[in-house]
A and B are shown apart, each in its own frame.
Chain A
Amino acid sequence: MDDIDAMFSAMLGEMDLLTQSLGEETVPPEALSNTKKEVNYSIGFTDLNESLHELEGNDLDALMADLMADLNATEEKLATEIECLKAPSASQPDFPPPPKGLSIEPAPSHISPSSAGSRSSNVSTPVPSAASSLAPPPPSGAKPTTEEIEAQMKADKIKLALEKLKEAKVKKLVVKVLMNDGSSKTLMVDERQNVREVLDNMFEKSHCDCNVNWSICETNPELQLERAFEDHENLVDPLSAWTRDSENKVLFQERPEKYEVFKNPQNFYLWKKDKTTLRDMKDKDKELLIQENFCGTSIIVPDLEGVLHLREDGKKSWKQRLFQLRASGIYYVPKGKTKSSRDLVCFVQFDNVNVYYGKDFKSKYKAPTDFCFVLKHPQIQKESQYIKYLCCDDIWTMNLWVTGIRIAKYGASLYENFKTAEIKASNSVWTNRSTPSSSNQSTPSPTVKAKSPNQANGHATKPQPGPISQNPAPPPPPPPLAEVLPPPPPDPVLPPPPPPMAAKTASKPTPPKRNQPNNFPPPPLDMDNLPPPPPPPPTDDHLEAPPDFLPPPPPATGFNSLPPPPPSFGGVDHSLPPPPPDPVSLPPPPPDPVFVASGAPPPPPPPPPPPPAAPVATLRPAVRTSGSLKKVPPAPPKRTAPTQGGGGGGDFMSELMLAMRKKHADQ
Chain B
Amino acid sequence: MAAWDLSVTVEDLGLDAPPVTISVASDLHIGGVILKLVEKTQIKQDWSDHALWWEQKQRWLLRTAWTLEKYGIHADAKLVFMPQHKPLRLGLPNGITLRLRVCFSNPVFQTVMGICRMLNIRHPEELSLLRPIEEKKKKKDKNLAPEIYDLTEVPLSSVSRPCLYNGMPAHFADSPEMEAIYKMLSVSQPPPAPEVIAKQYRPASVVDKAHINGRWLDSSRCLLQQGIQESDKLWLRFKYYATYDMDPKYDAVRLTQLYEQARWAILLEDIDCTEEEMMLFGALQYHISKVAQSEPQIMSNNPAMDDLDSALQSLEVKMEGEGSSASDLLENMTAPELTDYLKIFRPKRLTLKGYKQYWFKFQDTSISYFKSKEESIGEPIQMINLKGCEVAPDVNVAAQKFLIRLLIPAPEGMNEVYLRCENEQQYAQWMAGCRLGSKGKTLADSSFQSEIQSIRSFLAMQKTNSSSSSANASEESINTHSLVSPRYHKKYKPKQLTPRILDAYQNVAQLSLTDALMRFLQIWQALPDFGLAYVVVRFKGSRKDEVLGIAPNRLIRIDLSVGDVVKTWRYNNMKQWNVNWDIRQMAIEFEGNVNIAFSCVTADCKIVHEFIGGYIFMSTRSREKSETLNEELFHKLTGGHEAL
* A interface, CB within 8 angstroms of B: 1, 4-5, 8-9, 12, 56-57, 157-158, 161-162, 165, 241, 243, 270, 272, 277, 285, 288, 292, 296-301, 303, 326-329, 331, 338-342, 344, 346, 349, 351-352, 377-387, 465, 648, 652, 655-656, 658-660, 662-663
Asked whether any CB of chain A lies closer than 8 Å to the CB of B315, the reply is yes
Q: When the two chains form the complex, which single residue of B312, B319, B412, B525 contacts A382, counting CB atoms closer than 8 Å?
A: B412
Q: Which of A272, A292, A351, A385 contacts B413 (CB 8 A)?
A: A385
How far is the CB of A479 from the nearest CB of chain B, in Å? 34
Check if B273 sits within 8 Å of A655, measured CB to CB: no
Q: Which of B243, B277, B528, B529 is within 8 Å of A297, CB to CB?
A: B243
Flag the segment in B31-39, B60-68, B100-108, B328-336 that touches A.
B328-336
B392-419, CB < 8 A from A: 409-414
Q: Are A659 and B327 in contact (CB under 8 A)?
A: no
Binding site for A on B (CB under 8 A): 243, 246, 269, 272-277, 280, 308, 311-312, 315-316, 319, 325-327, 329-330, 333-335, 383, 388, 390, 409-414, 445, 487, 507, 518, 521-523, 525-529, 553, 563-564, 568, 572-573, 592, 623
Q: Is the CB of A327 within 8 A of B316?
A: no
Contact of A659 with B276 in the complex, beta carbons under 8 Å: no
Complex A-B, nearest 10 residue pairs according to Cβ-Cβ distance, in ascending order:
A384-B413, A379-B409, A381-B411, A341-B272, A298-B522, A327-B526, A158-B326, A659-B315, A298-B525, A377-B409
A483 vs B577: C-alpha distance in the bound complex, in angstroms?
A: 57
Q: Is the beta-carbon distance between A380 and B274 smaller than 8 angstroms?
A: no
From known contacts A272-B568, A297-B525, A326-B274, infer whether A1 and B312 are also in contact, taking CB-CB under 8 Å: no
Asked if A352 meets B388 with Cβ closer than 8 Å, knowing A161-B326, A298-B521, A298-B525, the reply is: yes
Closest chain-B Cβ to A639's Cβ sits at a distance in Å of 24
Smallest beta-carbon distance B460→chain A, Å: 27
**Residues from chain A with Cβ under 8 Å of B564 in the complex:** 339
A369-B297 Cα distance, complex, nearest whole Å: 59
Most buried by A among B275, B507, B568: B275
Which residue of the partner chain, among A5, A349, A385, contacts B276 with CB atoms under 8 Å?
Answer: A349
Assess the B312–A12 pair: CB atoms within 8 A.
Answer: no
Which A residues are CB-close (under 8 A) to B410?
Answer: 379-380
Distance (Å) between the CB of B600 and the closest chain A CB?
Answer: 25
A341 pairs with B273, CB closer than 8 A:
yes
Separation in Å of the B68 CB from the closest CB of chain A? Answer: 53
User: CA A156 – CA B118 in complex, angstroms?
Assistant: 54
Bound: A648/B586 CA distance, A: 58
Inter-chain contact B553/A292, CB cutoff 8 Å: yes
Q: What's the nearest-Cβ distance from chain B to residue A155, in Å?
A: 8
The residue from B383, B414, B522, B572 contacting A285, defined by CB atoms under 8 A apart = B572
Q: Would A377 and B326 count as touching, CB distance under 8 A?
A: no
CB distance from B141 to the nearest CB of A (A): 29
Tell me whether chain B's interface is mostly helix, strand or loop, or mixed. mixed
Tell which of B277, B333, B518, B525 touches A296, judged by Cβ atoms closer than 8 Å: B525
Q: Are B388 and A379 in contact (CB under 8 A)?
A: yes
- Closest chain-B Cβ to A374's Cβ sits at a distance in Å of 13
Known: A380-B412, A383-B412, A656-B315. 10 other contacts (CB 8 A): A158-B325, A296-B525, A326-B274, A338-B563, A341-B272, A342-B269, A342-B272, A352-B390, A382-B413, A659-B316
A659 to B592, CA, bound (A): 65
Q: Which residues of B have CB within 8 Å of A292?
A: 553
> Out of B326, B383, B414, B553, which one reaches A380, CB within 8 Å?
B414
Looking at the complex, which one of B274, B325, B326, B412 makes contact with A346 (CB distance below 8 Å)?
A: B274
Q: Determine whether the beta carbon of A380 is less than 8 Å from that of B413.
A: yes
The answer for the CA separation of A136 and B390 in the assembled complex, in Å, is: 57
Give CA–CA (A1, B269) in the complex, Å: 52
**A292-B553, A380-B414, A386-B413 known; A659 vs B330 contact (CB < 8 Å):** no
Of A161, A241, A300, A342, which contacts B275 at CB under 8 A? A342
Contacts of B523 in A (CB 8 A): 298, 327-328
A341 touching B413, Cβ below 8 Å:
no
- Decide if A9 touches B522 in the complex (CB within 8 Å): no
Can you give 17 A-B contacts (C-beta < 8 A)?
A1-B334, A1-B335, A161-B326, A243-B411, A299-B526, A301-B526, A328-B277, A339-B563, A344-B275, A352-B388, A380-B411, A381-B411, A382-B411, A382-B413, A652-B333, A658-B312, A659-B312
Name which of B315, B335, B518 has the most chain A CB atoms within 10 A of its CB.
Answer: B315
CB closest chain-A residue, reference B491? A342
Whole-angstrom CA separation of A662 from B312 in the bound complex = 9
Establish whether residues A157 and B326, one from each chain, have CB atoms under 8 Å apart when the complex forms.
yes
Query: A270 to chain B: which residues have CB within 8 Å?
Result: 568
Given the known interface contacts A296-B525, A342-B272, A342-B487, the answer about A5 and B330 at a Cβ–Cβ threshold of 8 Å is yes
Complex: chain B residue closest to A158, CB-CB: B326
Distance (whole angstroms) from the CB of A299 to the closest CB of chain B: 7
CA gap between A662 and B311 in the complex, in Å: 13
Q: For residue B414, which residues in chain A have a CB less than 8 angstroms away from its CB?
A: 377, 380, 384, 386
- Complex Cα distance, B357 from A580, in Å, reads 62
Please, which residues of chain B bring their CB within 8 A of the CB of A329?
276
From the candidates B269, B327, B518, name the one contacting A8 in the complex (CB within 8 A): B327
**CB contact under 8 A between A465 and B623, given known A5-B327, A298-B522, A380-B410:** yes
